[in-house]
Chain A
Amino acid sequence: MPRPQTRTITLTIDGREVDAPENAMLVDAAKHGDVEIPVFCYEPKLGNPVGACRMCLVEIEGIGKLQTGCSTPVKDGMVVHTQTERVKEAQKSVVEFLLINHPLDCPVCDKGGECPLQDISFGWGGGISRFIEPKRHFVKPLELSPKIAIDRERCILCYRCVRFSQEISEDYQLVLLQRGAHSFVSTFDGHPYVAPFSGNIIELCPVGALTSRSYRFRARPWDIEDAGSVCTLCPAQCNVSLTVRDERVMRVLSREHSEVDDGWLCDRGRFAYPALAEGTGSNAGGDPTIEVREGNPAAGNGAVARGVRVGMRVSEPLLRDGGELRPVSWERALEEAAAGLKRAGAKTAALAGGGATNEEGFLLSRLMREALGSSDVDSRPGGALDLQLARELAAPSLQAKVSDLEFAHAVLVLDCEPIVDAPILDLRLRKGVRRHDMKLARASGDDLDALRDTARQLSQQGEELVILWGERFVAGRDGDERARALLDLAAELALGETDGAGLLEIPAASNGRGLRESGVLPNAGPGLSEPEAEGRDAPAIAAALAAGELSAVYLLEVDPLSASDPFAAGASADAGAGAAGNGTGAPAADSPWQDALERASTVVAHATLLSEGIAEHANVIFPAGSYAEKEGTVTHPDGRLQRVRQAVALAGSTRPGWQVIAELSQRLGVDLDVYNEKEASQQLFDAVSFYEGVTLEEIGGRGVRWQERVQAFATAGGGAGGTDSPAETPYSHGYTESAKADIQPTPSPAESEPNHQPYPSAQQHSGADTETHGADTDTEASDRDGPSSDPPGTEQRG
């Protein structure tokens, strides 16, 4: 569907000529001329303006009455006055009217200090009220829901929350009851407003009428700092702004990004943070989906006495000692972990998931491949996908963006449940259907013929078809076959050649795409390059552990026995238990991971919260930072590299994940040559061919889609639907001299070491000799030679 085209026009506001997009609403157009027109009810995200608050009245030459700037599209040559006596008088009177029934209890109001009503009263109001009669009264504050408190006296009836419920989340629960000055916001019958996106109305409220019950009275705006980051609780990776007070995250707000979240957050992202930061046991406002269980069946009394229990936040290393988990020093934990891994050597496997960043995944895969000589690393719960198929599925031309979901003629939802797997995309689909007449259908991978039929029918709506598919579509034994079918379908419908059409995969893990691209796959190196050696995928790892073929497992933010972990669901899906929702399926009682972890002699885990499986089976548990405590990059399902920024200090004695992995590697005899977050990121960008040249500054707060950066060579090399020769795909792209120069502005001191080891990223080899390296596997990574056939200009690091 064609995106709206905008033409620039010129209008005059307060005597100044202003260039603005044609048909933009006047309040938006005025911003182009640095003129602020105050608004309450207007919020472009909510759709068409309603013109209810009348705050934005302005004078337009040629029109007798004052007009609402929020609902007047600008036209060329329009002459607008916002500073005339008439306008000022009208705006002043609207403020006066609004304050008539407002309690003016700013000193005890949570909104005080960040309140549009305060700001506008100050900026456009008259300063004094002539109203001396009694105000309207309501009982207050009331629970609108378990998460939200409503103070109806403060409400200025701007309709924003009602419109959100009716037109954005489409849960149709909030309404205005009564009329006139007696109107109030409520659910129709007074039931609690419980909905997947209810928290957004708190942010929408321009006064202190809707407040977060978990944030109420916890801080004032002058106590807090905002820190931008990315929520990694699900693959949607919404941009968030964390409100920090005294090194604690007090609340999570949306940081609008039209290509990611459209300015909304789901309730999980908004309200689950305290549980993540403090554990479910210590915070009543925690996410109720995480079960609180006092005591740990596997831990003895001593452990319980020290507060080690399932659901708690892990903030110091834990070591299983005599069957009980006990807090220990870092030295002890690292020593034990290194010893355990060393004993197992190549018989070690690793899984990554959760909020693990690209850097952590990348370093984990280096640890495994270089220090332990094992390629048994995986981030796909449902098992490996043929590398060539994976590359074709990730072909830049085939990738749909999030905004394509909104403007496409049709979207086919395939084997995923957006509201569960990546909630914020659910809102995007609703927006497409409601505002752009997008057609929506769903299909299942269980019936490929039906899938093809549905897709073909949908393509009749227009050439822009997006297939939104869940990772579980390619999970399990038929994965390759299904992936092939999907690619064939995409080729048939020319999704790769059509702008605005394509495939968008929702991975099972929050950073599934990033971990795969960082090399956390058994059959691919960083950047989906040919691996030195192929290892076992997740189901095979489980089987091998259970069979004793593997003896150790490293779990990076994964607990395959925790109900909410994709690996648990992946295992059951693979066992043929049906397509369980990502993250929702409970592990089957006979989950293969039960046996696997039981038999494993060493289980090393990184965990934020102590979950059931880890509490029962891990030998060493390293505390992992929450996303508010981490620094690193993640990759959005549509290929957008985003930065996770540290907002608060790591809990307790937690150390950054990259540091722990690097330290372990050191103890196992391989120096990963990474001493800070930036170096970890730089190594990643160097290793992944299509991240090359990216800098953290470039990613910044808005992220960078790598497909857009590498489009030039992607269109020249890797075509839609993939090509047979890896040499022509971006995955085997070698460095160019100029790019390389950009990448390494400041060589680390270690680079001058003659025997410094390059990390084994196969894209450093030219495409022609990748195959020969398959056999050249050596468990002693330190013995591996640097590539001999680097393209000219590649900096030799070995």
Chain B
Amino acid sequence: MLLLKDIDEPGLNTLPVYEARGGYAALRKALEMTPADVLSELEASGLRGRGGAGFQMGKKVSFLPQGSMDKYLVCNADESEPGTFKDRELMQKNPHLLIEGIVIASYAAGADRSFIYIRGEYVLQADVLDAALAQAREAGYVGEQILGSDHSLSLVVHRGAGAYICGEETGLLDSLEGKRGNPRLKPPFPANQGLYQGPTLINNVETLSTVPAIMTMGAKQYAELGVQTSTGTKLVSISGHVQRPGNYEIELGIPAREIIYGLAGGPPVGSEIKCWFPGGSSAPVLTPDDLDVPYDFDSLAKAGSMLGSGAIIVVDDSTPIVELALKVAMFYRHESCGKCTPCREGTNWTVKMLQRIDSGEATPMDLDIMASVQDHIIGNCLCVLGDAMAMPIGSMIAKFRDEFEAHIEAARARAGLTLGSVPADEQALLAHGTS
């Protein structure tokens, strides 16, 4: 265990305890190296971003232009993906680990200003971070000429106002600049033009918290953990219908079954898993057939889903799939910023169709419409929020079509609207647009 090593140590959030456990040694080690060496360590570790996209962290750092200019490092602590709560625990219990990671990463990236953008709901965690930051500053781990080196870094904890879209990196930057949190058009990517138009490195809390471990144990040793394209360990937040929900640190590449059944104890006695989200609610759902897929970035992608933020949500057979779909769709409709058309209108339309299905006003043809709407959203939006709804909903329709159809029939029957009872002309109306 790297990240959760001392997680339950009382007082780990205070500097003396953290230092007693070997804290900030990695920083001292890094500051003795050149930034280029630190960067090559990060690259060699194969560490992939833990926020959702899984982009190689070292590569991201190397994209930042060289030369003297204002460069920024932003820690994305807007942990807003439903089902994800790993960063919360890290920040609450081990804030110095994150601070140490930020200072090391900023050293490698040549950034001298950094921000932690933390979601507004994390009041306790933000307070803990503020307190830890004050201690770190006083001890000289953050500020001018850190530990006598010529690396300086300012670090500010900025609280968001609670919007899913502000977890999207460019939306986060706009919000941090004081604007409406709308995603920006890419390119330019934040590495070239990010915060205040300056080169910006944006990483997730877990990614940055992993950096000290890499410095301590060395990239080579870290890369031996996990599998070839997914190195290291990963925090997994398991929730839903399992007996022992919570955060677990696993080595990437172990079978999902081991996590869900082994660590989390499987579904409650007497129920079966219907489907599971492997990486937050925006990941396409997988079925029990997929439980033996190795839990790493590429294997999950191959299985038609994604590792995402590493939040496994287990859904058992007591949950109607339509209700699940509606819950997911309503979340994304509520969180869509409204900037681009397919996401704004598509999420809205999908919710309305699901509500119709639930209230018995739909026909099986509406399923085709709904599926094609998801197809029209995926890949056509400004940012990935639209896809974040369309992918799980699309996968649910594809994998549970029978249940959707049964639900439609049952709901129609409840509403007294079996197809036979509808006059012929109204049938035509219901089929409108699908001919």
Contact = CB atoms under 8 A, between A and B. Distances in A.
B345 interface: yes
B7 interface: no
Interface stretch (B90-98, B218-226, B328-336): B328-336
B382 A181 contact: no
B279 interface: no
A180 B433 contact: no
A94 interface: yes
A474 B165 CA distance: 57
B185 A179 contact: no
Contact of B180 (A71, A131, A134, A176): A176
Given A54-B340, A90-B380, A133-B356, A181 B345 contact: yes
B379 A157 contact: no
A67 to B, nearest CB: 10
B349 interface: yes
A50 B185 contact: yes
Interface in A676-695: none
A66 B185 CA distance: 14
A433 B30 CA distance: 43
B353 interface: yes
B192 to A, nearest CB: 14
A57 B352 CA distance: 26
Contacts of A94: 341-342, 376, 380
B349 A133 contact: yes
B344 interface: yes
B339 interface: yes
Contacts of A71: 185
A50 B349 CA distance: 24
Contacts of A157: 338-339, 341, 344
B345 A130 contact: no
A176 B338 contact: yes
B342 A181 contact: no
A156 B345 CA distance: 10
B421 interface: no
Contact of A181 (B348, B369, B381, B433): B348
B347 interface: yes
A133 B352 contact: yes
Interface in B340-387: 340-342, 344-349, 352-353, 356, 369, 373, 376, 379-382
Interface in A58-115: 65-66, 68, 71, 89-90, 93-94, 96-98, 100-101
B335 to A, nearest CB: 7
B57 interface: no
Contacts of A51: 185, 340, 382
B434 interface: yes
B302 interface: no
A183 B344 contact: yes
Contact of B376 (A90, A98, A133): A90
Contact of A180 (B185, B347, B379): B347
Given A90-B376, A98-B341, A132 B432 contact: yes
Interface in A9-52: 48-52
B348 A100 contact: yes
Contact of B338 (A90, A100, A131, A180): A180
A93 B337 contact: no
Contact of A65 (B333, B342, B379): B379
Contacts of A176: 180, 338
A181 B341 contact: no
Nearest to A53: B341
Contacts of A735: none
A173 B229 CA distance: 50
A298 interface: no
Interface centre among A93, A96, A179 (most CB of B within 10 A): A179
Given A89-B376, A129-B433, A180-B347, A52 B356 contact: no
Nearest to B378: A65
Nearest to B435: A128
Interface residues of B, number: 33
A182 interface: yes
Interface centre among B163, B337, B340, B344 (most CB of A within 10 A): B344
A54 B341 contact: yes
A193 interface: no
Contact of B380 (A49, A52, A66): A66
A688 B347 CA distance: 67
A90 B376 CA distance: 6
Interface string B374-405: 00100111100000000000000000000000
A423 B333 CA distance: 43
B433 A179 contact: no
A180 B337 contact: yes
Contact of A130 (B334, B335, B344, B434): B434
Nearest to A177: B180
Contacts of B333: 180-181
Nearest to A92: B376
A180 B335 contact: yes
B353 to A, nearest CB: 7
A57 B163 CA distance: 28
Contacts of B341: 52-55, 94, 97-98, 156-157
A97 B338 contact: no
B185 A181 contact: no
Given A54-B382, A180-B338, A100 B180 contact: no
Contacts of A544: none
Given A100-B348, A131-B349, A54 B338 contact: no
A120 to B, nearest CB: 12
A157 B345 CA distance: 11
A731 interface: no
A175 interface: yes
B433 A98 contact: no
B344 A180 contact: yes
Interface centre among B341, B347, B434 (most CB of A within 10 A): B341
A670 B369 CA distance: 83
A124 interface: no
A49 B185 contact: yes
Interface in A156-189: 156-157, 159, 175-176, 178-183
Contacts of A181: 333, 336, 338, 344-345, 347-348
Nearest to A40: B341
A53 B369 CA distance: 21
Nearest to B334: A180
A289 B165 CA distance: 46
Nearest to B432: A132
Contacts of B334: 180
A100 B376 contact: no
Nearest to B362: A132
A521 B227 CA distance: 88
Contacts of B185: 48-51, 68, 71
Nearest to A68: B185
A55 B340 CA distance: 10
A90 B378 CA distance: 10
Q: Considering the complex of A and B, which 7 residue pairs feature the smallest CB-CB distances, nearest first?
A: A93-B376, A130-B433, A183-B338, A97-B345, A180-B336, A181-B348, A133-B352
8 contacts: A52-B382, A55-B341, A57-B380, A97-B345, A98-B341, A101-B345, A136-B348, A179-B338
Given A132-B433, A157-B341, A176-B338, 10 more contacts: A49-B185, A65-B379, A93-B373, A97-B346, A156-B341, A179-B165, A179-B337, A180-B337, A181-B345, A183-B337
Interface of B: 163, 165, 180, 185, 333-342, 344-349, 352-353, 356, 369, 373, 376, 379-382, 432-434
